[in-house]
Structure 1
Amino acid sequence: MADILNNSQQLGAEKYPRKSEKLIQYGTSGFRTKAEELAHVMYRMGVLAAFRSMQKNAVIGVMITASHNDEPDNGVKLVDPHGEMLEASWEGIATKLANVKNEELKSTMCDILEENKIELGKNAMVYVGRDTRPSSPYLAQAVIDGVESVQGCVTDFGILSTPQLHFFVTCQNTNKAYGEPNEEGYFKKLASAFKALRGESADNGQYQHSLTLDGANGVGALKMKILQEYLGNSLEVSIFSSGDGKLNYQCGADYVKVLQKPPHSMQLEVGQRAASLDGDADRLVYFYLDTQGKFKLLDGDKIATLVAGYLKKLVKESGLNLNMGLVQTAYANGSSTEYINNTLGVEVACVPTGVKYLHHRALDFDIGVYFEANGHGTVIFSPTATDMIKKAASDETLPSDQVATAKRLFLLMDVINQTVGDALSDLLLVETVLHAFGWSLAEWDAAYTDLPNRQMKVSVADRNVIQTTDAERRCVEPPGLQTEIDSIVAKFNKGRSFARPSGTEDVVRVYAEADTQANADQLAHQVALKIYELANGVGTVPSLPN
């Protein structure tokens, strides 16, 4: 064991040394910072992934991506055996290992092995994927070197969407019960179920089977082109921002959601159905121009309500006794929560921001639907629900219409990537529901009207100065900040605002909604200024985008 760890420390010190005293913290989305600061982190995360694999006796995933961030950034996150985010207790271990001095690397590795009762030398298997950033190949190699330095085995999948890696890990660790752990298995599973649900007619009612897609100049555009080959004529997709520009620059789901306007490269016509992915294809938002030419956004809240409404309809018509819940964060628009409670009659749960919190809470339901407002989400079916649906789909004693509905539910489960939010899977899910209802985007949008809202971010010296409670809806630190926010909110009709620290960078994120867009903008701006004042803001004073 000593020889292995000595060699690992030596390689780390020589090829991937820690060069800066800057603390890098494992957050909601793993580590994320400037790519030039990440080589030693990647190497050490390769080591950690191998240790985790040894402990769990399962494949662990490592994804190199910074999602919706611009290209100077990159990041890394570990994927646990069932496709879920890294266990919370290991986030601290990851942060410690990433930040120890070069000469302390071996002793820290020894501590991790001892404290977690890991036997060095056990078989370790790590799956590695990366996005399309120029820095990703080198950083992926650092991960691979880290895994192999402690005698782990690596499967390098090259360029993948983040959800694909989650899918592969889950498939392998379920002995392929969830699917084949490769791209062909992924595309075949999604496309075959989608085409079976669609049937003979690609159009229905006001629904037309053509879609305009913003690929964020990222991996989603590349994978959508491949998926189209499997879909055939069932869905026609015109892809913009397909890789000829900068990743996430003036395009992508985050750009569209935050700035509430189409990608720079896309010229929309009235009524045209359009959607945006983010850089690693785990977020999805829809949008269109109404008859007055006004931009209309259908974000994660709208997707969640569309999907939940359809699922509730299918469950009722199948005669199955399954409880369903919809999980949101504080970012969910107040109108969506009211609609879910009062119109859909579906239970709503609110959790802190972060997929790990939403996913965990969704597991409490037979059918758990979760979407962040940013468009990241999925649906989870419990083992009990899966068994009941599968049985009903082939039960000849049931009425034929109930069996037919159960079959639709069963197929729908294969369209959904239940391991994590997946923009391509979610896109097929939305298209399935719109086709079933025969709806245009305007008809979908008419279900309820969002309160106007605005998001801003404030750069601060240390994001940890902001501490929150009540699912991040109220600040408890620094003293007096929440009182100031409450005072500002009280000035605006239907006002609501909250502030929370980013999970990956030293910024504080502000959300505000009110009765008009002008009021939502002013509310967000006033709260941002107060945070800049009370939470040690740095850099440019917050201002509203033009």
Structure 2
Amino acid sequence: LDSKASQKSMLHPKPKGLMLQYGTAGFRTTAKHLDHVMFRMGLLATLRSRKTKSTIGVMVTASHNPEEDNGLKLIDPMGEMVTPSWEGYATQLANAEQEVLCSALKDIIEKETINMSETASVFVGRDTRPSSQRLSQAVLDGVSCLGGQIQDYGLVTTPQLHYMVRCRNTHGCYGTDTLQGYYQKLSQAFIELTKNARNHTDDQKRLLVDGANGIGALKVRELEACLQSELQMVLFNDGSNGKLNYLCGADYVKVQQKPPQGINMGAGERCCSFDGDADRIVYYYNDSDGSFHLLDGDKIATLISTYLKELLTQAGLNLQIAVVQTAYANGSSTQYLEDIMKVTVSCTKTGVKHLHHAAQKFDIGVYFEANGHGTVLQLSEFIRLKASVDEKKHAAKLLENTINLINQATGDAISDMLVIEAVLAIRGMTVQEWDSIYTDLPNRQLTVKVADRRMIDTADAERRAVTPAGLQDSIDALVKKYTKARAFVRPSGTEDLVRVYAEAETQESADVLAHEVSLAVYHMAGGVGEKPKPLK
């Protein structure tokens, strides 16, 4: 172990003093600082594989970040994100100076009592960034350095790699661990479902897709052939001439509240955007007045959970369905789900791993972050349904196909898109009808630069600030001045910023409230630089 790992790691030198943290989304920074991290995560994935006696995934991607960045996510045996204790090892290994790398590795092997003679297997995938090929090679070097078996999938979306890992570790019960297997499973389920659509015209089958100039665009093209024109996708920002995530993609559309560049939208046309690695999706359209309407993760969760709830009722299944949200979920969506649909709503801290974990506690857990990352969990138990009555049989069959359409390993823009399209088709709903299920409360998100983000500590799923003393009281007093208002603050996970969220009955009130809360944060939590200016 010693000599080989040492020698090999010299070829992937760590810049002295560079410190990186494995965050909610793994490692992310400018690509030029990542070579040593990639090599070492190849080592770590091999150890994790031996520890769990299963295949582990390593995805080279920086999702919605600009093209010059890159990063990496580790994938655990069931296709979920790596367990938190190993996030700690990842940070430790990435930051170990060259001379202590071997002892850091030995430390993990001893702590976890890893049998180094176990076989190890690692799946590797990458997105379309210019740096991804070189960096995934560094991962492969790390894996082979410790004698792991490698399957290199090359260019895949992040959710596709999560899917492959789950397929391999469930020995084919979940699906086949090839791209063809993935496309076949999804397209067959989609075609079966859309047979139930009432007089579905070609016009209604048309969907404009913004591929964020990333991997999602390539993979949608591959999927298209399997869909037998049941869905007619018109692809924009396909990577042929634009820059990844630049003025396009799900994050841009969600934050800017406007359509991406390079898409030609007619009035009322359904459009969606993926992010750079295709694990997020948002929908939107322009109405006949040219006003832009965004259907984000909250609207998606509402559409899918109400559809599933109806099917469960029709199939005569008494199961608890819950929607997991974060504090960022629009107040109108929470109210609609709880009061009108009578669906359980659970609130958790921001970050996919928190939502995923909370969703596992219910018979069926639907989770979507407002940014469009989400999926449905725990469905597999119901495939064994053998309903006797015809109506129940029909509902059970719809459920089974819906289950096959959902990527239960992680949020998946391609799979989510197909689920949404199938539900709209079965219900005979237009995007406007979907949008009008409830009306979002106007909201505003701002950030405040602070000297140290640790000044702010939160409780109640990040909805209340515990420190600094008095800040929450100030927020409460400000919120009281407006109708249907709510506001909260939380520290960024990666930089010295505090994120402010406010919503109220009018956009003007939401803007003023967000600004007033920003000022309170600036004055009470060590704001730096210019003090927050009122919004125009």
Structure 1 residue 356 corresponds to structure 2 residue 353: yes
What is the aligned counterpart of 1:75 among 71, 77, 80?
A: 71
Structure 1 residue 331 corresponds to structure 2 residue 321: no
- Matched with 1:309 is 306
CA deviation digits over 1:208-266, x for unaligned, max 9? Answer: 11011111111111111111111121011111111121111111111111111111222
- Matched with 1:416 is 406
TM-superposed CA distance for 1:294, in Å, is 1.2
Structure 1 residue 516 corresponds to structure 2 residue 488: no
- Matched with 1:395 is none
TM-superposed CA distance for 1:130, in Å, is 1.0
Distance 1:545 1:523, change over 3 A: closer
Secondary structure, aligned partner of 1:134? coil
Contact 1:60 1:127 in 2 (8 A): yes
**Could you tell me the TM-score, scaled by structure 1's length?**
0.93
What is the aligned counterpart of 1:24 among 20, 25, 41?
A: 20
- Matched with 2:492 is 502
Contact 1:207 1:440 in 2 (8 A): no
Structure 1 residue 139 corresponds to structure 2 residue 129: no
Contact 2:63 2:276 in 1 (8 A): yes
Partners of 1:49 and 1:284 in 2: how far apart? 28
Structure 1 residue 254 corresponds to structure 2 residue 251: yes
- Matched with 1:91 is 87
Contact 1:205 1:438 in 2 (8 A): no
- Matched with 2:242 is 245
TM-superposed CA distance for 1:545, in Å, is 8.3
- Matched with 1:401 is 391
Contact 2:198 2:428 in 1 (8 A): no
- Matched with 1:437 is 427
Which deviates the most, 119-128 or 187-196?
119-128
Q: What letter corresponds to residue 303 of structure 1 in structure 2?
A: I
What is the aligned counterpart of 2:39 among 36, 43, 62?
A: 43
Partners of 1:371 and 1:348 in 2: how far apart? 12
What is the aligned counterpart of 1:273 among 253, 270, 284?
A: 270
TM-superposed CA distance for 1:319, in Å, is 1.1
- Matched with 2:369 is 372
Contact 2:324 2:346 in 1 (8 A): yes
Contact 1:207 1:435 in 2 (8 A): no
Identity %: 53
CA deviation digits over 1:159-181, x for unaligned, max 9? Answer: 11110000000000000111111
Which deviates the most, 478-487 or 168-177?
478-487
Secondary structure, aligned partner of 2:229? helix
Secondary structure, aligned partner of 2:408? coil
- Matched with 1:117 is 113
Contact 1:125 1:154 in 2 (8 A): yes
TM-superposed CA distance for 1:543, in Å, is 6.0
- 1:445-524 to structure 2, matched below 5 A, reads 445-524=435-514
Partners of 1:453 and 1:330 in 2: how far apart? 12
Q: What letter corresponds to residue 293 of structure 1 in structure 2?
A: G
TM-superposed CA distance for 1:200, in Å, is 7.7
Contact 1:33 1:505 in 2 (8 A): no
Contact 2:322 2:359 in 1 (8 A): yes
Structure 1 residue 192 corresponds to structure 2 residue 182: no
What is the aligned counterpart of 1:297 among 284, 294, 297?
A: 294
Contact 2:270 2:431 in 1 (8 A): yes
CA deviation digits over 1:300-351, x for unaligned, max 9? Answer: 1001010111111111111122221111111110000000011111111111
Secondary structure, aligned partner of 2:376? strand
CA deviation digits over 1:381-440, x for unaligned, max 9? Answer: 3553343x3x33xxxxx1111111101110111111111100000000000110011011
Partners of 1:188 and 1:383 in 2: how far apart? 18
Distance 1:344 1:184, change over 3 A: same
Distance 1:382 1:234, change over 3 A: closer
- Matched with 1:5 is 2
RMSD of aligned Cα (Å): 2.0
Secondary structure, aligned partner of 1:185? helix
**Could you tell me the TM-score, scaled by structure 2's length?**
0.95
Partners of 1:205 and 1:514 in 2: how far apart? 39
- Matched with 2:223 is 227
TM-superposed CA distance for 1:23, in Å, is 2.4
Distance 1:384 1:189, change over 3 A: closer
Q: What letter corresponds to residue 277 of structure 1 in structure 2?
A: F
Partners of 1:526 and 1:142 in 2: how far apart? 48
Contact 1:287 1:297 in 2 (8 A): yes
Secondary structure, aligned partner of 1:233? coil
What is the aligned counterpart of 1:182 among 170, 178, 185?
A: 178
- Matched with 1:385 is 382
Which deviates the most, 461-470 or 370-379?
461-470
Structure 2: gaps (5+ residues) = none
- 1:52-67 to structure 2, matched below 5 A, reads 52-67=48-63
Secondary structure, aligned partner of 1:234? coil
Structure 1: gaps (5+ residues) = 393-397
Secondary structure, aligned partner of 2:513? helix
Contact 1:30 1:504 in 2 (8 A): no
Distance 1:69 1:533, change over 3 A: farther
TM-superposed CA distance for 1:460, in Å, is 4.4
Contact 1:33 1:504 in 2 (8 A): no
CA deviation digits over 1:137-168, x for unaligned, max 9? Answer: 11111111111111112211111111000000
TM-superposed CA distance for 1:290, in Å, is 2.0
Contact 1:33 1:73 in 2 (8 A): yes
Aligned length, in residue pairs: 535
Contact 1:328 1:358 in 2 (8 A): yes
Partners of 2:28 and 2:325 in 1: how far apart? 24
CA deviation digits over 1:488-546, x for unaligned, max 9? Answer: 33333222122223334443332221111222223333333443454455567656888
Structure 1 residue 527 corresponds to structure 2 residue 517: yes
